[in-house]
Structure 1
Amino acid sequence: MRSYAIGDIHGHLDLLLHAHDLIAEDRRQTGDHDAPVIHLGDYVDRGPECRGVVDHLATGTARGENWITLKGNHDRMFTRFLRDPFEPEEGLRTELSWLHPRIGGAATLASYGVRNAADRPLTPVHQEAIEAVPQSHRAFLDARPTWHQRGDCVFVHAGIRPGIPMQAQHETDLVWIRSGFLEDMRDHGFLVVHGHTALDRATHYGNRLNIDSSAAYGGPLTAVVIEDRDVWLLTDRGREPLQP
């Protein structure tokens, strides 16, 4: 069973298009046009073309591309801000907010034409955001699932709470978890394919595969192909094995 997966995008449309090109080339090499492309979330924040990324994914999904687009914590913060900018985010430290420079929400709003959001009063910024962000984009992000199981893999943005059945997992864990998951080396009964925790390069830990290669911070965007539990990076040179 073959699946493709793409890590955290963070508003880098050029990197996303290149990742799709790498997948298209691998499809040509294998002749397999049925395997889904699973995007692991964090489509917005920090990068320059957040609106373009959301539009590309929403448009492609609507026309029937075989894509699965999961929800990341940044996607949830974005739609939560649009709903109520004062609503607390359960996974975010209390001294931070979505518009804090470390989080990058202002870059998302700038891509929709709302300028200098982090430097102005919250109420007018929120009103401008409501007017600027298409309802179709809000609906698309709100409707994203938080995990997907295919064969021997579970795909999720941040990770899972070990020992808890997938149907009983809490959404906040699925989009935010680090502690309690990253250091857990048990076999979960499936390979957990995730992002959220930025690394220099994709890394296979045996029981989990982290493909967040720091696109948000100037790194590459990782695309992989997974066959059962075997993993290859997709590069301009073709497949490169990625092993524990």
Structure 2
Amino acid sequence: MLSSLRRLFRSNTPAPVIAAVPAGTRYYAVGDIHGQRALFDALLDAIAQDDTARTPADTRIVLLGDLVDRGPDSAGVIARARQLQAERPTTLLAGNHEEMFLSAFEDTGMLRHFLRHGGRETVMSYGVKRKEYDNATLDELQDIMHKVIPEEDRAFVAAFDTHHLAGDYLFVHAGIAPGVPLEQQKRHHLMWIREEFITYDAPHEHMIVHGHTISAEVDARANRIGIDTGAYNTGRLTALALEGTSRRTIQAVRGEDGTITIETETLCP
């Protein structure tokens, strides 16, 4: 009887594997910044303090893309990201907004799309006055962008990666096409995919850490962790800290009075 019960309740599904980054490493993944320089600065300071307070490790920061657009200081965010990369190991991933930004310099159709989805703020962050912007045609705006946005910034953004692997984790901007091996993933999927990935609840080859799709809080699922908390709209910029199998969040949060505070939470000890 006991053996029959054991057979009845025995599952052919393997026990879930707890994702981990390689031993001796510590990762801080930062969600979509979207031109929020003040939140970005505050979060980087908090990350540095957190890292210093812990056991020495091989630490890396991963920015999950969409550094630009929507917020007021994309130029400042790009400058700070370049400085960060010079200071410590940092991986920068390309988001769909970086793709629009780069394409807008040559393609007026993409320029129109870029401007409609936050690109206006990006252009103006490089010193373009509102009156000049409002009076310019699309062709004139392209000329303005070529003049005011340094080639160094364009080259910096163009060099962003599409993904980063760390142990059981895969960092991407938007997600992956379910069921497709990593080496066969299309760049477009990694930067733009949404519903097909978000609604998929079966295991992936890796635990996916992503941005792109906004959620009020960190969206931790069995197969993915979404950390885009809508900084440009909510005033909440999130970092996910990974060490071994532990997961923690560090968030820079702007209050109604403009003051930025830091909030932390342990997801997995």
Determine whether 1:51 maps to 2:67: no
Structure 2 runs not aligned, ≥5 long = 1-21, 252-260
* Counterpart Cα distance in 1 of 2:245 and 2:208: 10
Instruction: Output the aligned Cα RMSD.
Output: 1.9
Q: Which residue identity does 1:129 align to in structure 2? A: M
How far is 1:16 from its partner? 0.7
- Who is 2:127 aligned against? 113
Identity score, percent:
35
Maintained 8 Å contact 1:70/1:147: yes
Maintained 8 Å contact 2:174/2:213: yes
Secondary structure of the corresponding residue to residue 88 of structure 2: coil
* Counterpart Cα distance in 2 of 1:104 and 1:119: 18
* Equivalent residue runs for 1:89-104 within 5 Å: 97-100=113-116, 103-104=117-118
- Who is 2:53 aligned against? 29
Secondary structure of the corresponding residue to residue 115 of structure 2: coil
Secondary structure of the corresponding residue to residue 249 of structure 2: strand
Structure 1 pair 237/75, CA: closer, same or farther in 2 (3 Å)?
A: closer
How far is 1:119 from its partner? 6.0
Structure 1 pair 87/217, CA: closer, same or farther in 2 (3 Å)?
A: closer
Maintained 8 Å contact 1:43/1:50: yes
- Who is 1:240 aligned against? 265
- Who is 1:66 aligned against? 89
Structure 1 runs not aligned, ≥5 long = 89-95
How far is 1:148 from its partner? 0.5
Structure 1, 131-140 or 118-127: larger mean CA deviation: 118-127
Determine whether 1:42 maps to 2:66: yes
Maintained 8 Å contact 1:106/1:118: no
Q: Which residue identity does 1:149 align to in structure 2? A: L
Determine whether 1:6 maps to 2:30: yes
Maintained 8 Å contact 2:43/2:262: no
1:161-210 per-residue CA deviation (whole Å, 9 max, x = no partner) reads 01111121111111110121001011112110000011112120121000
How far is 1:58 from its partner? 1.6
Q: Which residue identity does 1:35 align to in structure 2? A: T
Structure 1 pair 118/183, CA: closer, same or farther in 2 (3 Å)?
A: farther
- Who is 1:15 aligned against? 39
Secondary structure of the corresponding residue to residue 48 of structure 1: coil
How far is 1:35 from its partner? 1.3
How many residues are matched? 233
1:108-155 per-residue CA deviation (whole Å, 9 max, x = no partner) reads 000012334466310111101001001110001111011000111000
Higher helix share: 2
Structure 1 pair 118/154, CA: closer, same or farther in 2 (3 Å)?
A: farther
Q: Which residue identity does 1:127 align to in structure 2? A: D
What TM-score does the superposition give when structure 1 sets the normalisation length?
0.89
Maintained 8 Å contact 1:4/1:37: yes
Secondary structure of the corresponding residue to residue 104 of structure 1: helix
- Who is 1:186 aligned against? 202
How far is 1:237 from its partner? 6.8
Structure 1, 114-123 or 51-60: larger mean CA deviation: 114-123
- Who is 1:93 aligned against? none
- Who is 1:158 aligned against? 174
* Equivalent residue runs for 1:134-213 within 5 Å: 134-213=150-229
* Counterpart Cα distance in 1 of 2:156 and 2:128: 20
Structure 1 pair 32/182, CA: closer, same or farther in 2 (3 Å)?
A: same
Secondary structure of the corresponding residue to residue 181 of structure 1: helix
How far is 1:34 from its partner? 2.3
Structure 1 pair 221/99, CA: closer, same or farther in 2 (3 Å)?
A: same
* Counterpart Cα distance in 1 of 2:43 and 2:135: 34
Displacement over 6 Å in runs of 4+: none
Structure 1 pair 119/42, CA: closer, same or farther in 2 (3 Å)?
A: farther
Structure 1 pair 69/241, CA: closer, same or farther in 2 (3 Å)?
A: same
* Counterpart Cα distance in 1 of 2:119 and 2:218: 25
What TM-score does the superposition give when structure 2 sets the normalisation length?
0.81
